[in-house]
Chains A and B, each alone.
Chain A
Amino acid sequence: MSEQDRSGDVDGTGPGGQSEDGAFGISQRVQETPPSGIRRFFELAEEAEDVISLGVGEPDFSAPWAARDAAIHSLEQGQTAYTANRGKRELRAEIARHVDAEYDLQYDPDEEILVTTGVSEGIDVALRAVVDPGDTVAVPDPTYVSYAPGVTFAGGEICQIPTTEDEFRLTPEAMAEAGADEADVLLYCYPNNPTGAIMPREELAAVAEFCREHDLVVLADEIYADLTYGQEHVSIATLPGMRERTIVFNGFSKAYAMTGLRLGYAMGPPEVIEACNRIHQYTMLSAPTTPQHAAIEALRSCDDEVDEMVEEYDRRRRFVLSRFEELGMDCFEAKGAFYVFPEVPGGDAEAFAEELLTEAGVAAVPGDVFGDGGAGHLRVSYATGLEDLKEAMDRIEAYLES
């Protein structure tokens, strides 16, 4: 990777806040949004030498060859034009088939599916489609870094629901206590980034009941749905009375290791998908064409590769959990995504992560970056080969003993 690439934004937040003397008066919305804490850590990690990174939020695998080959073939055929706003019909049909088979979700490819430039775009357009100024969006805390800024950009207010005491799962009790009964939207990601937590059916049913009772709509980011271990993913849209009040987001980044190809999709009732598409058609036109060809092939023929990746993640997960237990760092049994979320000794995650980086040569993201609820924890990604994981855990052990 070139220096130029390296200096780029990690998370799209850009190099800082407002220009002080420039001609541009930077908008209030942007000024209110602090740069992501991930960025500072990225810069620290880039400066250090001989670092093993457990701070990466994307697979270490490459996309399955068949998918890459299909993308290359489409380029050879000269298929470089826009697609339909909603994405290629063929892709939407494959998505409908796939989510029915995998998650028991039934969506009409013509009216209920929108192909987006990653789930990131999907959530952005959905927030702008359903949030009016002053509306409140409830999110679990800790949570993925983009949600709060996305809500701000859409003109909404955030209501944070603490999850730390419940092994990072949502509960109706915590939702009520946080005032989420007054909220308009619930936005979450399960299996969860940064904690690896999943929502088992029973707990999810309680959340669904809360949403029905207090009339919240749900934006369910299920990008890690394929990556669960020992327990099947349950989509909230399959629960009674929830399909009509839910937009489900999924994509190809995680399960198919296609992060850089930027392709996701949103599924929901026709009226809200039409609203999302209204924004999407003016601001994005269509998701990139080449990745759509890769995605069609991925859905058609890459199940085995996905299964193999999931098995490999699971082995690493068990390895890492077993090592943290041995090191005496408390860590709940994360059953999803590719993260574990151990507690740091002493409780100051920022200081611990910084020392771990400079003293031990291991990069991991302090949980505070994902919200106050992540304080005292470390996000450890096991999307890294086992040899590196072993070495990293040995280094952490040596650091703890020093």
Chain B
Amino acid sequence: MNERELLDLLLADARRSTEDLARMLDADEAAVDDAIERLEEDGVVGGYQAVVDWGEVDEERVVALVELNVTLDRETSYADIAERLARFPEVQTLQLVSGDYDFDMRVEGDSMREVSRFISDKVAPVPEITQTVTHYVMDTYKDRGVNFGDGDDDDRLSVSP
């Protein structure tokens, strides 16, 4: 079985049943199960999550993108700082990036106050961090490949040659 194709299918929709995956891959169900298990064990697949449009939920949810600048010394690497930050459950995504700042961090919380407090109390005091710039997300149009707008209606004729 083509594991890359299995990955593509899981990326598009991780909730498909093993039975359906097997049909689409023209493979045995047992083989698909084994392959998924292997992908998980090897750390290729780290987890499965829903893509939620919080704009559609009657509840406040605040997302902030935070730029972090850091200084390194002989004892401290990017990975050391990242490890420390990643322990906080508020941090959803943490990436080392090229450009004007070092880390790109996505933080989620139930209110702006909570997120602001988290950044000022937990992130800014980290000694290696020299600067934080916080961008609050105002609206989300597309997340992880999923468009949050109205989908394209199927306007095709129901039967055509």
Whether the pair B23, A311 counts as a contact (CB closer than 8 A) is no
Q: Which of B9, B159, B160, B161 contacts A315 (CB 8 A)?
A: B9
Give the total number of A-B pairs whose CB atoms are below 8 A apart. Answer: 64
Whether the pair A42, B23 counts as a contact (CB closer than 8 A) is no
Whether the pair A390, B156 counts as a contact (CB closer than 8 A) is no
Chain B hits for A10, CB < 8 A:
157, 159-161
Contact mask A29-60 → B, CB, 8 Å, 1/0? 00000001010011001100001010111101
* Cβ of A85 under 8 Å from chain B: no
Contact mask B34-60 → A, CB, 8 Å, 1/0? 000000000000000000000000000
What separation, in Å, do the CA atoms of A57 and B158 have in the docked complex? 9
- Total interface residues in chain A, CB < 8 Å: 33
* Cβ of A323 under 8 Å from chain B: yes
Whether the pair A322, B23 counts as a contact (CB closer than 8 A) is yes
Whether the pair B158, A318 counts as a contact (CB closer than 8 A) is no
Chain A hits for B160, CB < 8 A:
10-11, 38, 42, 55-58
What separation, in Å, do the CA atoms of A319 and B17 have in the docked complex? 12
* Cβ of A145 under 8 Å from chain B: yes
Closest Cβ neighbor of A42 among chain B residues? B159
What separation, in Å, do the CA atoms of A349 and B101 have in the docked complex? 66
What separation, in Å, do the CA atoms of A145 and B161 have in the docked complex? 7
* Cβ of B133 under 8 Å from chain A: no
* Cβ of A101 under 8 Å from chain B: no
What separation, in Å, do the CA atoms of A35 and B49 have in the docked complex? 52
Whether the pair B158, A53 counts as a contact (CB closer than 8 A) is yes
* Cβ of A144 under 8 Å from chain B: yes
* Cβ of A106 under 8 Å from chain B: no
Whether the pair A316, B157 counts as a contact (CB closer than 8 A) is no
What separation, in Å, do the CA atoms of A41 and B9 have in the docked complex? 34
- Measured CB to CB, the closest approach of chain B to A122, in angstroms, equals 16
Whether the pair B26, A318 counts as a contact (CB closer than 8 A) is yes
Contact mask B1-34 → A, CB, 8 Å, 1/0? 0000100110000000000100111100000000
- Measured CB to CB, the closest approach of chain A to B55, in angstroms, equals 23
* Cβ of A365 under 8 Å from chain B: yes
Whether the pair B158, A322 counts as a contact (CB closer than 8 A) is no
* Cβ of B73 under 8 Å from chain A: no
Contact mask A279-316 → B, CB, 8 Å, 1/0? 00000000000000000000000000000000100011
Whether the pair A45, B158 counts as a contact (CB closer than 8 A) is yes
What separation, in Å, do the CA atoms of A146 and B159 have in the docked complex? 15
Whether the pair B23, A57 counts as a contact (CB closer than 8 A) is no
Chain A hits for B161, CB < 8 A:
10-11, 36, 38, 57, 144-146, 193
From B20, B158, B161, residue with most partner A Cβ within 10 Å: B161
Whether the pair A318, B25 counts as a contact (CB closer than 8 A) is yes
Chain A hits for B121, CB < 8 A:
none
**CB-CB under 8 A for A1 and B155, given A145-B161, A146-B161, A315-B9:** yes
* Cβ of B143 under 8 Å from chain A: no
Closest Cβ neighbor of A318 among chain B residues? B26
Whether the pair A42, B156 counts as a contact (CB closer than 8 A) is no
Known A-B contacts: A56-B158, A57-B161, A145-B161. Give 5 more (CB < 8 A): A10-B157, A42-B157, A55-B159, A56-B159, A390-B20
**Closest A-B pairs by Cβ, 7 of them:** A55-B159, A315-B24, A42-B159, A322-B23, A53-B158, A45-B158, A319-B23
Q: List 27 A-B contacts (CB under 8 A).
A: A6-B157, A10-B157, A10-B161, A38-B159, A38-B160, A42-B157, A42-B159, A46-B158, A51-B158, A53-B158, A55-B160, A56-B159, A56-B160, A57-B160, A58-B160, A62-B152, A311-B5, A311-B8, A315-B9, A315-B24, A315-B25, A318-B25, A318-B26, A319-B24, A322-B23, A323-B23, A363-B158
